[in-house]
Each structure stands twice: as C-alpha cells, then as structure tokens.
Amino acid sequence: MSDVRGDAVVTVAELKQQVKEFTESRNWGGGHRSKNLAMSIAIEAAELMEHFQWLENDDYAAEKLTEEKREQVRLEVADIAIYLLSFCNQQGIDLAKAVHDKYQINEKRFPVEEWVK
C-alpha cells in the first residue's frame, strides 16, 4: 500500500481489487453484505455532508476550507469510495460500464441544446 499513485494511473479494477484483498484478508465478508454496504455508503455520505451543513454557499469552496477540514473531507470521500467499490464487488457491478451507461441515459434525458442557450 506504500505505492501511492493518483487518478491518472490507477484503474477502477485496481481499486476494486485492493478493496477486495483488504476485506478478505480481515475476513469481513460476512459483514460486508449488500444491505450493510449500501447503508454504509449512505452513512459516510451523511458524514461528508456534515462538514458543509452550516456553511454558506460561498464558504464551502475547496480553497476556503482549512487544511484540516480539507483532509477530513478527503478521508470521508475515501470512505464513500471504498464502500462503493466493495458494494460493486459484492454485486458484480462493473463501475466504469455503469457510469458510461448512465451517461448514455442522461444524454437522452438532458440534451445539451436544452441546457445551453
């Protein structure tokens, strides 16, 4: 885990494998079922929202957050991503394909010409 590589080089498949290995090495399979993982995603998302709960619209821009707050937010995002990747592993979801397919649907639902005037 000391090999820190960023978004530009790490694949979703690598992240999913890392989550799978971490979970399996700790024998967490029994607790990491779809219902629990879905709930954990929502719980972590709520924890992320909590950081912005009482801020005014102009106060939540990344450059306005303290370094400590930005780190807390970054780690909440990581929690959400880890649970989401684990959920995808559990359900056999190809995340990249699901995102692609959803964009195809959204392209039809929200045509550019209706939003850009």
- Domain residue extents for the chain: 12-115
Whether domain 12-115 has CATH 1.10.10.10: no
d(CA 43, CA 22): 20
> Could you report the per-residue pLDDT of 52-72, keeping only the tens digit for each?
898 887 777 888 888 999 999
| pTM of the full structure | 0.88
pLDDT beneath 70, residues of the chain: 1-3
- What DSSP string describes the chain? ------TTT--HHHHHHHHHHHHHHTT-TTT--HHHHHHHHHHHHHHHHHTTTT--GGG-SGGGS-HHHHHHHHHHHHHHHHHHHHHHHHHT--HHHHHHHHHHHHHHHS-HHHH--
* pLDDT score recorded for residue 41: 98
* pLDDT score recorded for residue 23: 95
